[in-house]
Chains A and B, each alone.
Chain A
């Protein structure tokens, strides 16, 4: 992935450090035809595609390393344990050099957030306490808190979203009270693309003594994330949205908090000592990893992190800013098309929601699919936000490292053709 500075036909991507053609070649699924067309994959906010190195890492693990971890005394058990823990160290470095013991593997962002709700939340939220979320949360960072509030007779409050897709922080001082125990915010919206000012919110939340949870499912794959700098207490994200396998999530938590929390699941792996009438828990992070984890996929996640680092997260972010800007400009050319979220691509990621006044997003998606273009249509697991936006659903194109201007042009042309097809 050299910067190709010598290339005569230097593309914008190359200037930004990403050689998209070379990247595309690393993803076998991008060589496939869908409905007879080249696959234009624009559903990356749902899940990313996987490069060869990740696919191979999974099969390599099963061919050469497979064993259960943390207990066997044989060679393979040692290799498997080392490979698993290597990913943990790598992950700790990837998010800003945090303490390895603070990195817990889960099944995904959803489980990471539920873990916090069921352990820290159960222990620390009481009747009349307040939990503050935002209107733009994914259900994963909303429903666990809603249920927790219900169990504890706590109050769920929300930071509103402005018409142009930003959090409205003008009333934050009123929303944060002495009763605010927890603030849960998405780092980057999966619908609007908005990058939220986590640091500022965390700082103000800390001033009233609240614990801050950030949902990093959309940010970690697309921009450099330095968790200690964000000033949050918990940070959750998923492997599968950042080139890694499904079924692997990460929960980072501040050590003091993780230590104070009870385990989430009980069983093997998470104990230190078990008697018939007493048990003691394993150390961090294993206290939160009961049972045999998803070893192969955690091991393969390491390859995904390496791939991303080789490209450089700064470069990935620059590539997406440039491409998002291009996409918004091209989509704006289409009559009637309404684009949601911030206009300023430096304030947002590449999840671009749009609606057509005359067509339902499902019909749009079906039409685009016949052209080999994969987008998402629906409420994007953010029904409350849809209500705020006054939409039943939106169409969403979301970008990643292997997308280029040709993909955006294909989307543009298909949308124009779609309007003709439906006689609009």
Chain B
């Protein structure tokens, strides 16, 4: 059960049981919906960007413990960060999940707990869903589309 304990670390279960970022965002200018067609998980991310900073983030995950916890951590982490900072964090999370960096390499906070997912390759997609959904929303915002992004996560986990 050691591997399983790695996957379902206490931090992950805590975020799963009481996900953060549930409060709706007023005047959201980033809206993005993501889904994982292989399992049916769905996530909606909304954010309000003011002066290049994500002032508020809302996330609604309909999915497993891993995708819900990852989304909850996302909401907690990116709030108050600048556009570029958020993109950099998302990139690091991807690298962590792909095994390119370790949780000890960066100051990951709760996000470091996602490292255990690596031992379950089929679950990496779950952890990525919220992040790729946010990134697509931010990209659209940057391109002046700032509207309703809809993405489907690819099975090759990007």
CA distance A386 to B1 in the complex (A): 31
CA distance A422 to B16 in the complex (A): 11
Give B2's nearest chain A residue, CB to CB. A370
Q: Give the residues from 65 to 80 in chain B that come closer than 8 angstroms, CB to CB, to chain A.
A: 65-66, 68
Give, as a whole number of angstroms, the nearest-CB distance from B17 to chain A. Answer: 8
Give, as a whole number of angstroms, the nearest-CB distance from A209 to chain B. Answer: 37
| A378 pairs with B40, CB closer than 8 A | yes
Task: Indicate whether B154 reaches chain A with its CB closer than 8 angstroms.
Answer: no
Most chain A beta carbons < 10 A, residue from B7, B40, B62, B123: B40
A sample of 13 cross-chain residue pairs with beta-carbon separation below 8 angstroms, ordered by A number, consists of A363-B64, A363-B65, A366-B4, A377-B39, A378-B38, A378-B39, A379-B40, A386-B40, A392-B63, A421-B4, A421-B8, A422-B13, A423-B13
| A370 pairs with B41, CB closer than 8 A | no
CA distance A421 to B9 in the complex (A): 11
With a cutoff of 8 Å between Cβ atoms, the chain A residues found around residue B64 in the complex are 360-363
Known: A362-B66, A378-B38. 13 other contacts (CB 8 A): A360-B63, A360-B68, A362-B126, A366-B7, A370-B4, A383-B40, A392-B40, A392-B41, A393-B39, A393-B41, A421-B8, A422-B8, A423-B13
Please give me the 3 A-B residue pairs with the lowest Cβ-Cβ distance, nearest first.
A360-B64, A362-B64, A379-B40
Q: Give the residues from 9 to 45 in chain B that come closer than 8 angstroms, CB to CB, to chain A.
A: 13, 38-42
Interface size on A, residues (CB 8 A): 18
With a cutoff of 8 Å between Cβ atoms, the chain B residues found around residue A61 in the complex are none
Give A362's nearest chain B residue, CB to CB. B64
Task: Indicate whether B84 reaches chain A with its CB closer than 8 angstroms.
Answer: no
Task: Indicate whether A146 reaches chain B with its CB closer than 8 angstroms.
Answer: no
| Number of A-B pairs, beta carbon distance below 8 Å | 50
B interface residues with partner A (beta carbon < 8 Å): 1, 3-4, 7-8, 13, 38-42, 62-66, 68, 120, 123, 126
| A393 pairs with B40, CB closer than 8 A | yes
Most chain B beta carbons < 10 A, residue from A359, A363, A383: A363
CA distance A314 to B4 in the complex (A): 41
Give A386's nearest chain B residue, CB to CB. B40
With a cutoff of 8 Å between Cβ atoms, the chain B residues found around residue A362 in the complex are 39, 41, 63-66, 123, 126
| A370 pairs with B38, CB closer than 8 A | no
With a cutoff of 8 Å between Cβ atoms, the chain B residues found around residue A366 in the complex are 4, 7, 120, 123
Q: A366-B7, A370-B1 are in contact. Are A392 and B66 (CB under 8 A)?
A: no
- Looking at the complex, which one of A359, A360, A367 makes contact with B4 (CB distance below 8 Å)? A367
Give A423's nearest chain B residue, CB to CB. B13
Give, as a whole number of angstroms, the nearest-CB distance from A372 to chain B. Answer: 13
Give B3's nearest chain A residue, CB to CB. A370
Give A364's nearest chain B residue, CB to CB. B64
| B38 pairs with A360, CB closer than 8 A | no
With a cutoff of 8 Å between Cβ atoms, the chain B residues found around residue A423 in the complex are 13
How would residues 339 to 380 of chain A score, 1 for a CB under 8 Å from any chain B CB and 0 otherwise? 000000000000000000001111100110010000001110
CA distance A422 to B9 in the complex (A): 11
Give A387's nearest chain B residue, CB to CB. B40
Give, as a whole number of angstroms, the nearest-CB distance from A371 to chain B. Answer: 10
How would residues 386 to 400 of chain A score, 1 for a CB under 8 Å from any chain B CB and 0 otherwise? 100000110000000
CA distance A362 to B68 in the complex (A): 12
Most chain B beta carbons < 10 A, residue from A360, A370, A386, A421: A360
With a cutoff of 8 Å between Cβ atoms, the chain A residues found around residue B63 in the complex are 360, 362, 392
